[in-house]
Structure 1
Amino acid sequence: MDIEKVRSRFIKHFDGKTGNIYMSPGRINLIGEHTDYNGGFVFPGAVDKGIMAEVRPNGLNTVILYSIDLKDKTEFKVDDPKGPKATWARYIYGIVQEMRALGVDVKGFNAAFYGDVPLGAGMSSSAALESCFAFALNDLFADGRISKWDLVLAGQATEHKYVGVNCGIMDQFASVFGQKGKLMRLDCRSREFQYFPFDPQGYKLVLVNSKVKHELVGSPYNDRRQSCENVVAALNKQFPDKKYETLRDATWAELDAVKGAVSEEDYKRAHFVLGEKDRVLAVSDALEAGDYETVGKKMYETHDGLSKEYEVSCEELDYLVDIARENGVTGSRIMGGGFGGCTINLVKDEVYDKFIADAKKKFSAKYGHEPEVYPVVISDGSHKVC
């Protein structure tokens, strides 16, 4: 990221004095989709793209913000009960309020920031923005005493209370806790997590963005969550002595035992979730062994499950994964909630150029526009740059 870009704009829009520069990254998720609300595991990592901000206390009770990307400036009082109207500023306003709720004596400050997280690519630019300012305010006004987990939860609460997005914790968790060369297996139930080495020599990790987002009738995410809950209810009825909170508690034998008591669609959804639980654990073992071929195989299996069992893929994403298979890409799958967005691809160096060229050419010929390509490197979480 461009430190001079932030510094020059900060000096221009404020009083010529400089502050501290902070950075928080976006994230990828290698494997583990639609597992969070089923009490399962996710496998994110921070990337080398994110949000960078220069921040300096201004001696006032006012927060003055400049968005470099939007060329927009706004301000609000630290104790303003309503906050700014601009959506981008509400993320920062929410962090100010949540840090104050944690007992931090937040004072007024000036800040300029920009991001190089591609919008619409499912890399969580909003979580990077929240994490960047939470880390900065912790450093400036609390001497770093607020725990990383409280910074994560402040970001999540900001989404819930001030932006109106009922998100989980994976995005903020990855942005705050990320480490260079490591992915994290997060238990969405207990919040326990473990670092796993991710340094695939001879491979690149790349996102291919279809730039497609299908408009959907109804509530597809809610429908799938309901399917999972339907199966859990059937399990609790069939096995009253065992308490099932989520599908994570179910075995394959128990799922098969209730197959006749649930709809075919609900069974397919649950079948994917149990398979994904197993795949995440298999990838954990493979990463520790440096076995990236198995990692790739499990990525393809996840995509097939998301496409055929969970039914959250779309024609364009399936086509990108087919192109990956044709080009000998080690692993490829849809990344994120579905119905558009990106594939995440683990690609050997020797096939990388041909795969990217093929994906652009074939996708453009079929759908009328080129996909966007974002190589990513697993990098550190929230930190002070200078």
Structure 2
Amino acid sequence: MDNKIVREKFAELFGTAGDLYFSPGRVNLIGEHTDYNGGFVLPGAIDKGMLAEIKPNGKNIIRAFAVDLNEYSEFGMNEEDAPKESWARYIFGVVREIIKRGGKVEGFDTAFSGDVPLGAGLSSSAALESTFAFALNEIFNLGIDKFELAKIGQATEHNYCGVKCGIMDQFASVFGKEGHLIRLDCRSLEYEYVPFDPKGYKVVLIDSVVKHELASSAYNKRRESCEAVVAAIKKRHPEVELLRDADMKMLDEVKNEVSAEDYRRAEYVIEEIQRLLDACDALEKGDYKTVGEKMYGTHYGMSKLYEVSCEELDYLNDVARECGVTGSRVMGGGFGGCTINLVPEDKYDNFITTAVKGFTQKFGKEPKVYPVKIGAGSRKL
């Protein structure tokens, strides 16, 4: 991350220097569509993210410059002062959420830039929210704990950006730890660090540069399927609140009472929650072969049972298998976006060349390649 550009822009605009803060984007190794079913996720912070220079300005306004977009915005801190630029609403939202919690924020100047690609499913928005939540907490001595910082980011998405997201992205950004993934229990929000130091492997994302329009309505339908199955199981097992509480035996008991589609959706989720736990056991032993098999299992489930993959992602997954990649799967909600791949170093170059060339020939556009390393969470530089 090149902080020189941010430094120069800040000095040019505001004639002074502030402090630099950074928050990372994230990947999720395994555990997809498990969050709203009360299961687990396994994210890790990455070495790409959002960098901001910030300094109090003694005024009651925020003056902000988005370096990558070359856009400037100026706004107050009351509810009616909401800026019109969508990127500025993330900063405004964080400020409002801190104020709602009784924190005293004063006006400040900022310039920021990111090397988390927008729209690649690496949570650039969470990185931006975490950067400002972390920085303002420190600059104004607000004494907010890390947990609450993640919740401030999530509430910003809900209340100011119109996205009803879970907590995973902000959590990973704030709590990231080098050489570790975070096993987060989406129901209790308890978490533990799981070692992830794959010697002899590289982690790389291949972005299909596809975004399918049906994503949000299809996502809601998947949630409804899960809820329908829980309602059917609950009649026999009143203790079952979420699919997290169910097992395949319970699901099979209601097979004739739910649609075939709803059955498949629930089967995927129940299996995925178990796959994640198996992957964590394998990581504790440094057994990356098993981790890779679980990743392929997730892709199969998302493609055939949950049906949230697409032709482009299935193609990238097939190429990974043919090239001897240890593990590969669609990452994120599906219907486009990236595959995440755990690749032996000696097979890396061939895999990237083969995937890019084959994909471009087949689909007429070139996929983007993002090598990532697992890094630390929000911090002052």
After TM superposition, is the score higher than 0.5? yes
Q: How does 1:121-200 map to 2 (within 5 A)?
A: 121-142=120-141, 145-200=143-198
Q: Structure 1 residue 273 and structure 2 residue 269: aligned?
A: yes
SS in 1 for 2:47: strand
Aligned to 2:105: 106
Q: Aligned-pair distance for 1:243?
A: 2.1
Q: Aligned-pair distance for 1:80?
A: 4.9
Aligned to 2:13: 13
Provide TM-score, normalisation by structure 2.
0.99
Please tell me whether the aligned partners of residues 180 and 197 of structure 2 are also in contact (alpha carbons under 8 angstroms).
yes
> Cα 1:218–1:136, aligned 2, differ >3 Å: closer, same or farther?
closer
Q: Aligned-pair distance for 1:217?
A: 8.3
When structure 1 is superposed on structure 2, of 243-252 and 215-224 the one drifting more is 215-224
* Deviations, residues 276-325 of structure 1 (Å, cap 9, x unaligned): 01100001101100000110000000000000000000001000000000
Q: How many residues align?
A: 381
The separation in 1 between residues aligned to 2:333 and 2:344, in whole angstroms, is 26
The separation in 2 between residues aligned to 1:59 and 1:373, in whole angstroms, is 43
Please tell me whether the aligned partners of residues 303 and 334 of structure 1 are also in contact (alpha carbons under 8 angstroms).
yes
Aligned to 1:66: 65
Please tell me whether the aligned partners of residues 79 and 96 of structure 2 are also in contact (alpha carbons under 8 angstroms).
no
Q: Aligned-pair distance for 1:216?
A: 2.0
When structure 1 is superposed on structure 2, of 349-358 and 230-239 the one drifting more is 230-239
The separation in 1 between residues aligned to 2:216 and 2:174, in whole angstroms, is 34
**Equivalent of 2:354 in 340, 351, 358:** 358
Aligned to 1:325: 321
* Deviations, residues 81-132 of structure 1 (Å, cap 9, x unaligned): 3410110000000000111122221000000000110112100000000000
The separation in 2 between residues aligned to 1:330 and 1:348, in whole angstroms, is 7
* Deviations, residues 153-205 of structure 1 (Å, cap 9, x unaligned): 10111011111111110000000000111000000000000001111000000
When structure 1 is superposed on structure 2, of 29-38 and 216-225 the one drifting more is 216-225
Provide TM-score, normalisation by structure 1.
0.97
Q: What residue ranges of structure 2 are gaps of 5+ in the alignment?
A: none
Q: How does 1:169-318 map to 2 (within 5 A)?
A: 169-216=167-214, 219-239=217-237, 242-318=238-314
Q: How does 1:335-346 map to 2 (within 5 A)?
A: 335-346=331-342
The separation in 2 between residues aligned to 1:74 and 1:214, in whole angstroms, is 31
* Deviations, residues 312-339 of structure 1 (Å, cap 9, x unaligned): 0000100000000000000000000000
Q: Aligned-pair distance for 1:218?
A: 7.8
Q: What residue ranges of structure 1 are gaps of 5+ in the alignment?
A: none
> Cα 1:333–1:89, aligned 2, differ >3 Å: closer, same or farther?
same
SS in 2 for 1:322: helix
Q: Percent identity, please.
A: 61
Kindly report structure 1 stretches of 4+ aligned residues shifted beyond 3 Å.
none
Please tell me whether the aligned partners of residues 238 and 258 of structure 1 are also in contact (alpha carbons under 8 angstroms).
no
